Structure 1
Amino acid sequence: MYIALLSYTAPRNEVDYALAEHAEWLRGHFARGLFLVSGKGGEDHDQVILTRPCLRGKLDAVLASDPLVVQHLAHYSVIEFSATRTAQEFHAINEALAS
Structure 2
Amino acid sequence: MYVVLLNFAAPLDQVDNFLPDHAVWLAEHYAAGNFLASGRRHTRDGDVIIARAMPRGRLDAILACDPLAVRRLVHHEILEFQASRTSPALAAYAEPVK
TM-score over 0.5 for the pair? yes
Deviation at 1:40, TM superposition (A): 1.2
Of Structure 1 and Structure 2, which has the larger fraction of its residues in helix?
A: 1
Structure 2 residues not aligned, in runs of 5+: none
Q: Give distance in 2, aligned partners of 1:22 and 1:52.
A: 19
State the 4+ residue runs in structure 1 displaced beyond 3 angstroms. 42-45
- CA 1:11–1:55: 2 relative to 1, 3 Å: same
**Normalised TM-score (structure 2):** 0.89
CA RMSD of aligned residues (A): 1.7
Matches within 5 A, 1:72-87: 72-86=72-86
Paired residue total: 96
Q: Give me the identity figure in percent.
A: 44
Moved more, 24-33 or 36-45: 36-45
Structure 1 residues not aligned, in runs of 5+: none
The answer for the alignment partner of 1:46 in structure 2 is 46
1:91 aligned onto 2:80: no
Whether the aligned pair in 2 keeps the contact of 1:7 and 1:44 (CA below 8 Å) is: no
